C-alpha cells in the first residue's frame, strides 16, 4: 500500500494526563497519570501505522485522543488540516466523520439489544446527510456484503454471531460514514487463531478498495509487521521509535524495541537453543511517577548517567535512517518476527 501525498492526520506533542485525586470531600489533586506524554506523528492516505508497546503504555488512550473521545491535556490532532482536539459542536461532528474506530472486544463492544442493522446504521442517525432514512436499509445491506456477512441477517442480534462475525459487524459500522481513517485497537486479539487471518485479510482488502488509512494497535508483533507500512513503538506514554516496518523490525535502534522484538517467540523450533533473547527484568514503572530523563533507563542495560539527566528526543540518530529516542541508539539485528 503506497502512501501518497499530504498527511491526512497530523499529531503534534499530544499529551493526556489523568488527574490522581485524594480525599472524598475535599478532592485534592496529588499527581497525574501521564498516559500519553508528548507524542507526534503523521499518517498519510492509504497508509497503515502500527502501534506497539506493553500494556498500559498509552496505546488506547492515544486512540481515544485521535477519536476525540478524550480531550487532550495539550497538543494538537489535525485531520485534513482541521484541528479536532479543540473542536466543539458542529465542527467536531464534521471532522469526526472522517475517523472511525474498531474496538478490541467484539463481545462487549456491540449493544446486545440492538439488531445488526441498527448497530451498523446508528452512525447515520448522527449524520443524516450521508444516508437519508429511506436509503439506510440498502446501505447497511451493502456494508454487510462488503465485510463478508449475509445481507439477509440484518435483523439478527449480536449474540447470534460468532466472535469473528461480530468483529466484521464492528468493521461494517466503522465503514458506514466512509471515513478516511480507521483506528483499530487490538482488532483481532480476542479472536481465535484460525479466525484472525480472515479478519486481517478483510481489513487489507477494504484498505485497498476504499483507500483507507489505518492506525493499527496490536500486541502481536508479527501481525503488526504484516499489515503496517510504518510502526511506532511506545513506552510509558512516549513514542520511543518510529520508522518503516523494515527499519523497525530489521534494524531496531532503541534498546526497548530490541528487547520487545527478541521476546517474541518464533514459530519455528529449529535453532531455538541458539536464539539470542533479551529478557527485561521487572515491570514498567508507574506512569504516575515515570523515571527522569529516559523513561526506559530503569530496565535498560545500556543506561549511563546522561540517561537520568537528559530526556532523549525522538529523532534520527547517527548510523540509523529512522527516528529513535535513545542517547546511545545503535541498530542491532535481533531477527525473527
Partner 1 sequence: MKKTSTSVLPAGGALGDEPLLAVDDLHVEFVTRQGVVKAVNGVSYSLNPGETLAVLGESGSGKSVTAQAIMGILDMPPARIPRGEVRFRGTDLLRLPEDARSQVRGQRVAMIFQDALSALNPVFTVGSQIGEMFRVHRGASRRDAEKKAVELMDRVRIPGARQRVHDYPHQFSGGMRQRIMIAMSIALDPEVLIADEPTTALDVTVQAQIMELLAELQRESNMGLILITHDLGVVADVADKIAVMYGGRIVENALVHDIYRAPAHPYTKGLLDSIPRVDQKGQELYAIKGMPPNLLAMPSGCAFHPRCPYRQDNCVTEAPPLYEIGPTRSSACHYWREVLDGSHG
Q: Which residues bind partner 1 (CB under 8 A)?
A: 1, 54-55, 162, 164, 192-198, 200-201, 204, 219, 221-223, 225-226, 245, 249, 259-260, 263-270, 272, 277, 279-283, 337
Binding mask 54-93 for ligand ATP (x = CB under 6 A): -xxxxxxx--------------------------------
Nearer CB in complex with ligand SF4: 147/236: 236
How does DSSP assign 295-322, residue by residue? Answer: TTGGG-TT--HHHHHSPPPSEE-TT-SS
* Residue 232: CB minimum distance to ligand SF4, A: 16
Among residues 50, 58, 255, 290, the one that binds ligand SF4 under rule CB under 6 A? 255
Query: Of 238, 221, 179, nearest to 39 (Cα)?
Result: 238
For position 124 contacting ligand SF4 by CB under 6 A, the verdict is no
| Cβ atoms of 83 and 76 closer than 8 Å | yes
CA-to-CA distance for 65 and 57, rounded, in angstroms? 14
CA atoms of 234 and 232, how far apart (whole Å) = 6
Q: How far is the CB of 71 from partner 1 (least distance, A)?
A: 28
Instruction: Determine the Cα–Cα distance for residues 9 and 263; give it in Å rounded to an integer.
Output: 31
Residue span binding Mg ion (CB under 5 A) among the ranges 34-42, 55-63, 93-101, 266-274: 55-63
Rule CB under 6 A: say whether 237 interacts with ligand SF4: no
**Residue span binding ligand SF4 (CB under 6 A) among the ranges 51-59, 147-155, 213-221, 302-310:** 302-310
- What is the CB-side half-sphere exposure of residue 161 using CA atoms within 13 A? 27
17 binds ligand ATP (CB under 6 A): no
Q: Which three cell numbers stand for residue 158?
A: 449480536
- Which cell goes with 253? 535502534
Please give the helix or strand (H or E) that residue 59 lies within, else none: helix 59-66
Residues numbered 3-42 forming contacts with Mg ion, rule: CB under 5 A: none
Taking the least distance from each CB to ligand SF4, the nearer of 179 and 252 is 252
Amino acid at each position: 500500500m503506497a502512501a501518497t501525498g499530504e498527511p491526512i492526520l497530523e499529531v503534534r506533542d499530544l499529551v493526556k494526563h489523568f488527574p490522581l485525586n485524594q480525599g472524598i470531600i475535599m478532592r485534592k489533586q496529588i499527581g497525574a497519570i501521564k498516559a500519553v506524554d508528548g507524542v507526534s506523528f503523521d499518517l498519510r492516505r492509504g497508509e497503515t501505522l502500527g502501534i506497539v508497546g506493553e500494556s498500559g503504555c498509552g496505546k488506547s488512550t492515544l486512540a481515544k485522543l485521535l477519536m476525540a473521545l478524550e480531550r487532550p491535556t495539550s497538543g494538537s490532532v489535525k485531520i485534513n488540516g482541521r484541528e479536532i482536539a479543540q473542536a466543539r459542536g458542529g465542527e467536531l461532528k464534521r471532522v469526526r466523520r472522517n475517523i472511525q474506530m474498531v474496538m478490541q472486544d467484539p463481545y462487549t463492544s456491540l449493544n446486545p439489544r440492538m439488531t445488526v442493522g441498527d448497530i451498523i446504521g446508528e452512525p447515520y442517525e448522527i449524520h443524516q446527510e450521508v444516508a437519508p432514512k429511506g436509503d439506510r436499509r440498502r446501505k447497511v445491506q451493502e456494508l454487510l456484503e462488503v465485510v463478508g456477512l449475509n445481507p439477509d441477517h440484518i435483523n439478527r442480534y449480536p449474540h447470534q454471531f460468532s466472535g469473528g462475525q461480530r468483529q466484521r459487524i464492528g468493521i461494517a459500522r466503522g465503514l458506514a460514514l466512509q471515513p478516511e481513517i480507521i483506528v483499530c485497537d487490538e482488532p483481532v486479539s480476542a479472536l481465535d487463531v484460525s479466525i484472525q487471518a480472515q479478519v486481517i485479510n478483510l481489513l487489507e482488502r477494504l484498505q485497498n478498495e476504499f483507500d483507507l488509512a489505518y492506525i493499527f494497535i496490536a500486541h502481536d508483533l508479527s501481525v503488526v509487521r504484516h499489515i503496517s507500512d510504518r510502526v511506532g513503538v511506545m513506552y510509558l506514554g512516549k513514542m520511543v521509535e518510529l520508522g518503516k516496518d523494515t527499519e523497525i523490525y530489521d534494524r531496531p535502534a532503541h534498546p526497548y524495541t530490541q528487547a520487545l522484538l527478541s521476546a517474541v517467540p518464533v514459530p519455528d523450533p529449529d535453532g531455538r537453543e541458539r536464539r539470542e533473547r533479551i529478557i527485561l527484568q521487572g515491570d514498567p514503572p508507574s506512569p504516575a511517577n515515570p523515571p527522569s530523563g529516559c523513561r526506559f533507563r530503569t530496565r535498560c542495560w545500556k543506561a549511563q548517567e546522561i540517561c537520568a539527566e537528559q530526556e532523549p528526543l525522538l529523532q534520527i540518530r547517527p548510523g540509523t535512517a529512522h527516528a529513535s529516542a535513545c542517547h546511545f541508539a545503535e541498530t542491532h539485528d535481533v531477527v525473527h518476527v
